[in-house]
Structure 1
């Protein structure tokens, strides 16, 4: 849990003209001096709870429940204007807007009696927590295929909560994203209003999601009947909007034009920035206003440092992410952190590979993507303790081991069996080439395509792995000088072959013996080849994962995450972004980067931030 402090910052409240805002304005106790705090009825009987403290409670509770704070606060705002009580004496729980028994700040409806009604009425924190529990239950409907999901369904992306927010109010026709008569946007739908409040009360712009009337089925006679979804997944060009209230120390961010850089915690020294600037988050701690705080101010403040050395405090909505980092102390733990990043809600299947050598795992990304499985790493002789714990956290009931017992021992397999999983399966041949063939068989692709890369180096196969994974294309391995028999067998019936790598990886006789139509994708170095892969397959999408090109582990486990996010995988050295990768970043306007591994492995944050500056011009 992050540390939380409240600070005194004096602001004037600008009241908008929406009905919600007019209602809120009527409840302000106005004062003549601007230096005095305006107050709002955010309080509990016998205990003064300011709006600042409720902002803090909503923020910290949202983080504890794995929900973007912006979403939690906007739902509470839409439900009650952040009010637990209706009357000035604070004795009557907030009015029931929908006549459905809703109680308090989150308007919790408890017809089944699962919650403590008195606590719902009288304990703001309890009401918030139960409301967020319900919101998480609505999120689970997407995982179960009841309501639609968006992109990789990451919990920290605001737009991904669209249908969970819809379900919080009810999966009924009046909440359809489109109007049933003409298919136009339904601006009065509950979730549309919540998302409007996220934008207005945080000073940020969300992505417009691409809905059509044909996505939904309607009952022409009754708008309160259940809304039927004809489409259960949306792929939306990214990047979408990650929460601006979950930054970590060291993250690189962009300030928006006109950002006020406050020079002290009490809000003094208002200094508008005339241009966008790169900054670094100095601490994970967030700060809350205690003066003029209202339900209209959903943001928090971060302590930042600009590139010119100036430091100050900036509102969260005025910061846009450039770099974030996913890392652990070891390659095992980095793989686990990647798993937590991409599979926050768990996974049925885990793909397990040996951590210290790459051959058997090179072809694994497409298979892992097929089963929506993270790739975790283990020692050869025993199941790594941290990896075992992550399998348990994921709730997986199947583990697929890549490689023979030489790569991943029988002891590891026995340890997995002892975990009472439904299935422990090994895919391993006598050689790396046979293992790749067996993985291709398990993948079962019927698109007539295959990728061929050297089995003696890792960069080429891993750079292409996100594209191969998303498109169900098997990765087959070869000797640089000849094609092994197992690989030739796997290539039978393939009409399109992508040969990855130049002469040092695949020489001319190998290329000439490949069946079907062959497209060679190669550059002079591994970094050139990685850039050519992005060009050849038209990848980029404004976001990328970044891994070292001199070690395989982080790129291997990150490849499936890149595929889930529809992002490129960029290879760099520890301290340098090579020229071909720089060029790709500029050409593709890539400006959001997730670094895989610690700064001892990938330390190019500043260079990526400079390149993002170029991309956003």
Structure 2
């Protein structure tokens, strides 16, 4: 309730602003919305709480003031009552009716007493004029929809006197008895059921210049504050189709817009709901100051009504483009002007602000493939979004594999590459496959090759990146393995090719048959005829005693 001492201050501010009061004296559109639901207000009678709720809510919305603020002021001033025992309520200091207005020369005092519509409209207009004052602090970047941004206008509604200083000048402690502090306590209790913590101003005693022992107004040394806590736009601006989240555990979805209706479901905190229509007023309760929204769960399995006290705007996680281990930036989409933060674990590695088209791009250090990054943002109200977790893609091909020497006696290709990489050995048009172990070691079986043969080795990692090829030549350490022409059970002479002048040996069982290759490398070795299926083992030895790899030949029919 405003004191008489403060009335002249309010009035003088209104004159300075040149505020027009035609709206309070004329029929207002917001009243008709409530009359359609509850009918006209009876003379000299206090409407039911639901109807008062409707009137205060729609008057606030028409003035673009958060209804939570207007309803809390009306609660503090006169408990939502215009009359007492059929007579207009007038306080000891002259405050009139529901909004406790006094000494308002530009308003009809009789109508303030008898016309509840007029009284509410006048209170809303005066509060609005306080918001428009240029000598009162505001929150940087915040608009009218932000509840916290009405802290100083609410203060001024009662008066910017030392009694309402946010801090005690001598101790720097919070002044819990300041008018605006009482209003915001009521607001949190009634509109949020103490479920929501409003953002706090970073006040300092030096922000306010006043004499505690004087009745002179406070001089505000700081006109703009930066708020780091989450701010709260009114919960009365949700539209059909908007997504909201539940702000507490075991929040009840009811079958109707009434605290007395049956419970359809209890929801866990952060459950997503979709608004399906306009808010409505409690049709049975005599005490609830909040409203009810019709909602459904995203799967539409639960449909009902939820209290506005237990919901808040839902923020979606940012959309993030693929990031690989070569990238020096990260990009995506988030709400316009959102402040994006990129973390590797707990370490912030990049940040950016989304542009008006909702695009963002942030520089980051190059990250290793497989690294988990979390990307989130804070919107214009400092509300934190859910984090988007991405894994840095592997777009870096393995290094060229190392290959150990392959000789013309070797039966495998081995070396080192990236751990677990798939290794392909290509000889002419044939490929042979293998896989590296956790240390990167690999060994791929191949047929023995002649010296000088070209072998190509590549590696492909789990992400599908293929290395450049390692090309090697087979090294000679002995004669090449002889080639042998087809053998049948009728063959008595084994023929083929070996290194020139090499000694060719054929082992059959425990017996060995030998001959010398010609200067052209051709050889003929006489053997007894063998049964089909018999195995022959053929090798060649050069003049230095080096023996080739052995070729196994099977006698055919």
Give the match for residue 305 of structure 1.
296
Change (3 A) 1:173 1:245: same
Q: Quick one: distance in 1 between partners of 2:270 and 2:47?
A: 36
Q: Secondary structure at the match of 2:123?
A: helix
Kindly indicate whether residue 227 of structure 2 is the aligned counterpart of residue 227 of structure 1.
no
Give the match for residue 370 of structure 1.
none
Shift of 1:215: 1.4
Q: Does structure 2 conserve the Cα–Cα contact (< 8 Å) formed by 1:304 and 1:312?
A: yes
Give the match for residue 52 of structure 2.
54
Give the match for residue 94 of structure 1.
89
Which residue of the other structure, out of 230, 240, 250, is the alignment partner of 2:231?
240
Q: Does structure 2 conserve the Cα–Cα contact (< 8 Å) formed by 1:252 and 1:280?
A: yes
Q: Quick one: distance in 2 between partners of 1:154 and 1:580?
A: 40
Change (3 A) 1:611 1:173: same
Change (3 A) 1:557 1:165: farther
Shift of 1:219: 0.7
Shift of 1:285: 1.1
Kindly indicate whether residue 283 of structure 2 is the aligned counterpart of residue 290 of structure 1.
yes
Q: Structure 1: any 5+ residue segments left out of the alignment?
A: 9-41, 325-462, 464-500, 505-520, 546-554, 560-568, 572-578, 595-607
- Higher CA-based Rg: 2
Question: Once the two structures are superposed, what CA deviation does each residue of 1:114-166 show, in whole Å capped at 9, x if it has no partner?
Answer: 1122211111111111100000100001xx2x011112231111001000000
Q: Quick one: distance in 1 between partners of 2:290 and 2:333?
A: 40
Q: Does structure 1 conserve the Cα–Cα contact (< 8 Å) formed by 2:148 and 2:231?
A: yes
Q: Secondary structure at the match of 1:78?
A: helix
Question: Once the two structures are superposed, what CA deviation does each residue of 1:495-539 show, in whole Å capped at 9, x if it has no partner?
Answer: xxxxxx99x9xxxxxxxxxxxxxxxx94276679x9997448965
Give the match for residue 77 of structure 2.
79
Q: Secondary structure at the match of 2:273?
A: strand
Question: Once the two structures are superposed, what CA deviation does each residue of 1:177-210 show, in whole Å capped at 9, x if it has no partner?
Answer: 0112211100000000000000111214212322
Shift of 1:258: 2.4
Give the match for residue 67 of structure 1.
65
Change (3 A) 1:612 1:58: farther
Kindly indicate whether residue 389 of structure 2 is the aligned counterpart of residue 583 of structure 1.
no
Give the match for residue 185 of structure 2.
196
RMSD (CA atoms): 4.4
Q: Secondary structure at the match of 1:136?
A: helix
Change (3 A) 1:537 1:134: farther
Shift of 1:264: 2.8
Q: Does structure 2 conserve the Cα–Cα contact (< 8 Å) formed by 1:591 and 1:612?
A: no
Q: Secondary structure at the match of 1:242?
A: coil
Give the match for residue 157 of structure 1.
146
Shift of 1:50: 0.8
Higher relative contact order (CA 8 A, sep 6+): 1
Q: Does structure 1 conserve the Cα–Cα contact (< 8 Å) formed by 2:331 and 2:361?
A: no
Question: Once the two structures are superposed, what CA deviation does each residue of 1:69-119 show, in whole Å capped at 9, x if it has no partner?
Answer: 00000011111111112x22x22x22325x1x32110112234x2112221
Q: Going by fraction, where is strand more abundant, 1 or 2?
A: 2
Which residue of the other structure, out of 263, 287, 302, is the alignment partner of 2:255?
263
Change (3 A) 1:104 1:132: same
Q: Does structure 2 conserve the Cα–Cα contact (< 8 Å) formed by 1:66 and 1:155?
A: yes
Q: Quick one: distance in 1 between partners of 2:176 and 2:330?
A: 53
Shift of 1:225: 2.1
Kindly indicate whether residue 322 of structure 2 is the aligned counterpart of residue 523 of structure 1.
no
Q: Quick one: distance in 2 between partners of 1:208 and 1:280?
A: 28
Q: Structure 2: any 5+ residue segments left out of the alignment?
A: 1-28, 343-347, 363-369, 391-557
Kindly indicate whether residue 154 of structure 2 is the aligned counterpart of residue 130 of structure 1.
no
Q: Does structure 1 conserve the Cα–Cα contact (< 8 Å) formed by 2:257 and 2:282?
A: no
Alignment of 1:304-383 (within 5 A): 304-308=295-299, 309-323=301-315
Q: Does structure 1 conserve the Cα–Cα contact (< 8 Å) formed by 2:243 and 2:313?
A: yes
Which residue of the other structure, out of 162, 175, 178, is the alignment partner of 1:173?
162
Question: Once the two structures are superposed, what CA deviation does each residue of 1:355-381 show, in whole Å capped at 9, x if it has no partner?
Answer: xxxxxxxxxxxxxxxxxxxxxxxxxxx
Q: Does structure 2 conserve the Cα–Cα contact (< 8 Å) formed by 1:323 and 1:609?
A: yes
Give the match for residue 207 of structure 1.
199
Shift of 1:57: 0.5
Change (3 A) 1:122 1:136: same
Q: Quick one: distance in 2 between partners of 1:45 and 1:538?
A: 64
Give the match for residue 509 of structure 1.
none
Q: Does structure 2 conserve the Cα–Cα contact (< 8 Å) formed by 1:299 and 1:315?
A: yes
Change (3 A) 1:163 1:582: farther
Change (3 A) 1:526 1:307: closer
Q: Going by fraction, where is helix more abundant, 1 or 2?
A: 1
Give the stretch that moved more between structures: 236-245 or 531-540.
531-540
Q: Quick one: distance in 2 between partners of 1:611 and 1:533?
A: 10
Q: Quick one: distance in 2 between partners of 1:55 and 1:537?
A: 49
Q: Secondary structure at the match of 2:111?
A: helix
Q: Quick one: distance in 2 between partners of 1:570 and 1:231?
A: 34
Change (3 A) 1:6 1:251: farther
Give the match for residue 249 of structure 1.
240
TM-score (norm. length: structure 2) = 0.52
Question: Once the two structures are superposed, what CA deviation does each residue of 1:8-52 show, in whole Å capped at 9, x if it has no partner?
Answer: 9xxxxxxxxxxxxxxxxxxxxxxxxxxxxxxxxx97535662110
Equivalenced residue count is 335
Give the match for residue 432 of structure 2.
none
Q: Quick one: distance in 2 between partners of 1:5 and 1:570?
A: 49
